[in-house]
Structure 1
């Protein structure tokens, strides 16, 4: 049984002896750990023994009982104090209510009265101890629950369900740090069609998240959680320009995961934002970027800023009508997906519209969303409406089949213009890269990194689209162009090989000769001899 420590204080030693021997301390749950004949000595013993209960007389030399009580409470506010007092001192002692004295016992001390007092005190101490233990249990439970609470907070944050005023409050309560000053979302999608034999999809996801945390640690300040089957990474950035470096880092991780795990990981990266409430839009962009794996291929990082044509922004959908499915299908451009999304939207309209007024209002909202979508993407809505000249007047009169057919036609037309804009943007990107090669091929520092930096795109995206459009990797194109210029100089000038090497961007003449021979099957000097001789 738990025992509480008691300190006896009285200038009459025989009084303390009587108290000590007449009370069954152990049976009642107490233990006398010290005795003192004055307040000064009592403080010394108290500091060492830390008693739970102090039974003290009032009148004592050097320091009376009330002053002792005051000092004890300062050092140990939880200590319980019992005052022994004569009848003539009782009223004086009662005035010291601010000292939180537990009991006042009149002298001469009655053993039964003191035992009853100690029993009440024991019950109070037991109850207080139980409450403290419960508080500690609650604190431990809260600490154990923090990972779940933090994940719920992150999910609510990217869903836009937390007001700006609540964000900091929850971050403090859940011990979350998001220092910024810029933020972005990355979504890690793991293909369930390429799961290694010794793993389940869940185990693979856990492994990928753990490896991402290890590989990005020290490079990026990230928070990880799982949402809708994907791993979401909230990244603190020092500036918006960090997005390009993050994209390349994620692309290297995707390739590493394929080699190490045999896992096909696609990472979508949203745009950077300056405040936490805007993370919902960064998340939407990241999820949108992941969906583009059907076009650009899985197993790589995709930056939403690279996908959208220059000067265009992905439109933000209001919450009253869910157009996300239609707009997502429009961006991806697969006809079957567009038809499915439109039919779902029209079906939802039919199910939810209870009156003709409500139906017409909702149809107008849909038309308004399409109109704003075109405006946000620098297109004219009127150019996609077909034979309809006044959409706001004619569309509400259409039946379900006609409305579905018209919406599919509009969505396909908008999607085609977006594709053309993207293709035009890609052609411009490739053309600019070739112009850089043409103008700077003689610069030994010209490389994939410098070209991407000049164009303002990530290495992974540029490498992918250049090879897709040009049919060869960019480095191969640069090397071939340099070799073409080298051949021209060999045939048109009398310059030596090391001079030609410098002209076409090679600081090492031996390496230039090696590359030339690998390309044409002979050294530059032999090439000159054979071709000029002819």
Structure 2
């Protein structure tokens, strides 16, 4: 049986995980548990678990820090976050740490079973790899570059576009980032790692939206296994794009509410007026005949970002397109985007993407 470690600072939840769930029927047994990250590191050293269920918010060492340390000392260990948090910020870090899956509290036994099935398949794959050769996580330069590329502006663009339900922007960005890795063999570890990162971004959006992975790809389908079956990058790209499309389509069907319709109207107004330097949340609210505080709540509810952040997001999206065209002064671009101060525009761009507008333009030319 595979050994499991439970790490959570709530005694009642540890008791529930230990006594109320049928681990044995799935081929698992609990070998140890810990109330915080420090004790978890000691337990892992003594018991060498195959799987760790970890809460994110804990004292001393949080779940993200613990996952990072465990991956260093136990590279073959599978990790599942069990948490009440469903924010993309956690998911983005988890991608880099190699977290296997997520369970959002409260979860039901069907969700628990589906998670164990996916983890069991992953552990079996690791065992097969170990039989063929000594297993170690891929550390080649291409794999490192892939992770860095995905964690740069691509993640920001995909994340915000998912939240904004802007599929064209998502499709364009997926195509762009997949172009960067097409030089590698589709069956390589580097390619698989890259595709899994994109898969995890989509999975995080599904969870954040109140859906379950099973609603998107069913209870018996294994996305990770599917990724290994592709013979070409065209196949992989088409499948990833369709997965994102289906996730957005299901999300749209969940809540076509009054607040969602207002959210769409506000987005349209911002797109049509982003070049106005006086554009503000108050101005958008006035144009739509609603209270500004209500509009702010709607954006938080529907997109998990503020209305101000969306204005900035859309301006930055347009900025990249203008920079790609080239042959335009920075002051002119800033003015077209509604920025009176080119220096402030540059600072906003660098804060968003990590590089200045001029650096972005040079990188695109290369």
Q: Tell me the TM-score normalized by structure 1.
A: 0.24
Highest Rg: 1 or 2? 1
**Which TM-score applies when normalising by structure 2?**
0.35
Relative contact order (C-alpha < 8 Å, sep 6+): which is higher?
A: 2
